[in-house]
C-alpha cells in the first residue's frame, strides 16, 4: 500500500503541477485538501481538476466560521495591525488552514504534508511552524525549495509539465497579479507593484472595492453593536461574525474603504510591495476602536497597544501555536469584558467618519469633561498636580543652569 501525502490544494497552476510531481518523485498517493476560508468562486471545478491531475482524493473543508470566530475576532479585539497598515488577512488564515491540513493528515494516516509556498515568502514559515507545533512527527515537503528535484521555474514550465502528463487545464502563460483571497481580504502582488515608484493600476487591480474617486457622492450611515468586543449586529440586524464581515465588505467596497498600498518587511528579510483590499475588516477595526475609546482606562489602553503590536508580529511570523500568542490573547480577552455598546459612523469616499458612540460601561463623564466646574473636579487641584508632575523637568533645568554657571565662572 502506498504512503500518503496531504497537499494544501488551491486548484491553481502550482498545486495542479505538484500532484503528478509528488506521485512521480516519491510514489505517494496524493490527498488534496482545499480549505475554504471564503475564497468564493475560486472553489468551482476543483473536484474534476484534482481527479484529472491524478489526486487519489479531494477534501473541500469549510472553516469560514472557525476562521472568523477563532482567528479574526481575537485580532480585531487586539487591534493587531502589522507595520501600522496590514490587517493580517493572509497571516491569520494560515494557522487555521494548517490545523485542518493536520486533521486530514491524521485521518488519512499520511506521512507528509506538502505546500506550494515559495522559498521567498512568509507562507512557507507560517505553514511549517504550524505543522511543527501541531504534528512534529509529520514530514514537510516544500517543492519550490527542492531545486534538485523540482526543476520548474516558471508558469510556462509548469504548463508544459502538466501537458506532458496528459493534464489539459485552462491555464495559460499570461502574466497576472499574484493574489490571495479569503473572506477577510484580497492581496495583490506582481506586475507594476514590483516597482515602488509605480502607481497601482487600480482599474485592473481591484476586486472587492472601488477607488474613493468612484465611490458614491452621498455618505452612508451604518450602526453596529458589540458585546464583549465581539460584533453582534449591523443596522439593527443580528448576524454571526462571518455574515457581518460579508455585509461590511459590501458596504466598505462600495465606498472605497480599506485599500492599502504598503512596502512591508517580510520575515525572510526582504521588503515586498503589495496592495491589500480589506473593506469590511477596516470598518470592523475602526468601529471596535471607537467603542474602546469610551470604555478602556488610559493605563490599560497603553499596554494593550503594546500587546497589539507584539501580537501582530507573532502572527505575521507564523507563531500562532505558541504560548506567547495564547498569553497575549488572554490579556486582550480580559480587556474586552466591558467593550459592549453601539457605534454609529458614516462611510464616505474612503473615510469612516464618527457619528456617535454609546456604551453602558462608558468612562466618559460629561460633567468632568466640560468647561463647567463641578463637584468632582476643583481647578485648584491642578496646581499641586502640575508641580509634582513637572518636578523632574524643573530639577533638571535647575541643575543644568547650575552646571552652566559653574563652567562659565572658571
- Which residues are part of the catalytic machinery? 14, 94, 123, 178
| Binding residue ranges for L-citrulline | 86, 122, 126, 178, 187, 264, 276
Q: What is the DSSP letter of 199?
A: P
| Binding residue ranges | 8-16, 86, 116, 118, 122-123, 126, 178, 187, 264, 276
Please, are residues 115 and 127 in contact by the beta-carbon 8 Å criterion?
A: yes
Strands across the sheet containing 230-234: 237-238, 230-234, 220-227, 341-348, 351-358
Torsional sign, CA 86, 87, 88, 90: negative
Indicate the angle between helix axes 46-53 and 13-26, nearest 10 degrees.
Answer: 30
How does DSSP assign 144-176, residue by residue?
GG-TTT----SHHHHHHHHHHTT---S--S---
* Strand positions, DSSP E, 91-206: 112-114, 139-141, 178-181, 186-189
| Binding residue ranges for L-aspartate | 118, 122-123
Indicate the angle between helix axes 298-316 and 89-108, nearest 10 degrees.
Answer: 50
Grid cell of 289 as nine digits: 476602536
Residue reference for cell 502538466? 162
Please, are residues 341 and 291 in contact by the beta-carbon 8 Å criterion?
A: yes
Q: What angle do CA 34, 38, 43 make, to 5 degrees?
A: 45
**CB-facing half-sphere around the CA of 284: CA atoms within 13 A:** 34
Grid cell of 43 as nine digits: 472553489
- Gap between the Cα atoms of 209 and 187, Å rounded: 12
| Binding residue ranges for ATP | 8-16, 116
- Gap between the Cα atoms of 307 and 239, Å rounded: 29
Amino acid at each position: 500500500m502506498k504512503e500518503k501525502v496531504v497537499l494544501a490544494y488551491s486548484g491553481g497552476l502550482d498545486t495542479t503541477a505538484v500532484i503528478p510531481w509528488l506521485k512521480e518523485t516519491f510514489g505517494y498517493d496524493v490527498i488534496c485538501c482545499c480549505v475554504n476560508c471564503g475564497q468564493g468562486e475560486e472553489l468551482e471545478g476543483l473536484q474534476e481538476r484534482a481527479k484529472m491531475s491524478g489526486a487519489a482524493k479531494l477534501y473541500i473543508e469549510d472553516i469560514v466560521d472557525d476562521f472568523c470566530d477563532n482567528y479574526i475576532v481575537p485580532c480585531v479585539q487586539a487591534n493587531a495591525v502589522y507595520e501600522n497598515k496590514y490587517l493580517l488577512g493572509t497571516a491569520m488564515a494560515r494557522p487555521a488552514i494548517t490545523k485542518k491540513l493536520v486533521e486530514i493528515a491524521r485521518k488519512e494516516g499520511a506521512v507528509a504534508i506538502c505546500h506550494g509556498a515559495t522559498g521567498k515568502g512568509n507562507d512557507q514559515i507560517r505553514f511549517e511552524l504550524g505543522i511543527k507545533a501541531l504534528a512534529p512527527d509529520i514530514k514537510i515537503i516544500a517543492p519550490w525549495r527542492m531545486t534538485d528535484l523540482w526543476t520548474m521555474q516558471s508558469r510556462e514550465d509548469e504548463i508544459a509539465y502538466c501537458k506532458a502528463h496528459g493534464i489539459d487545464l485552462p491555464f495559460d502563460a499570461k502574466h497576472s497579479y499574484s493574489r490571495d483571497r479569503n473572506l477577510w481580504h484580497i492581496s495583490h502582488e506582481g506586475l507594476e507593484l514590483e516597482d515602488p515608484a509605480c502607481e497601482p493600476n487600480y482599474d485592473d487591480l481591484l476586486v472587492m472595492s472601488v477607488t474613493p474617486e468612484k465611490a458614491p457622492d452621498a455618505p452612508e450611515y451604518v450602526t453596529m453593536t458589540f458585546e464583549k468586543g465581539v460584533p453582534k449586529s449591523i443596522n439593527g440586524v443580528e448576524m454571526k461574525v462571518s455574515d457581518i464581515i460579508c455585509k461590511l465588505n459590501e458596504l466598505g467596497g462600495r465606498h472605497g474603504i480599506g485599500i492599502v498600498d504598503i512596502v512591508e518587511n517580510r520575515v525572510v528579510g526582504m521588503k515586498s510591495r503589495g496592495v491589500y483590499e480589506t473593506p469590511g475588516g477596516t470598518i470592523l477595526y475602526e468601529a471596535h476602536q471607537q467603542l474602546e475609546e469610551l470604555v478602556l482606562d488610559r493605563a490599560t489602553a497603553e499596554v494593550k497597544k503594546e500587546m497589539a503590536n507584539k501580537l501582530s508580529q507573532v502572527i505575521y511570523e507564523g507563531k500562532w501555536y505558541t504560548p506567547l500568542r495564547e498569553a497575549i490573547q488572554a490579556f486582550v480577552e480580559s480587556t474586552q469584558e466591558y467593550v459592549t455598546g453601539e457605534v454609529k459612523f458614516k462611510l464616505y469616499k474612503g473615510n469612516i467618519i464618527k457619528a456617535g458612540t454609546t456604551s453602558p460601561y462608558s468612562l466618559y463623564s460629561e460633567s468632568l469633561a466640560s468647561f463647567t466646574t463641578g463637584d468632582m473636579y476643583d481647578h485648584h487641584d491642578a496646581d499641586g498636580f502640575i508641580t509634582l508632575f513637572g518636578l523632574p523637568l524643573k530639577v533638571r533645568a535647575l541643575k543644568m543652569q547650575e552646571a552652566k554657571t559653574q563652567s562659565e565662572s572658571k
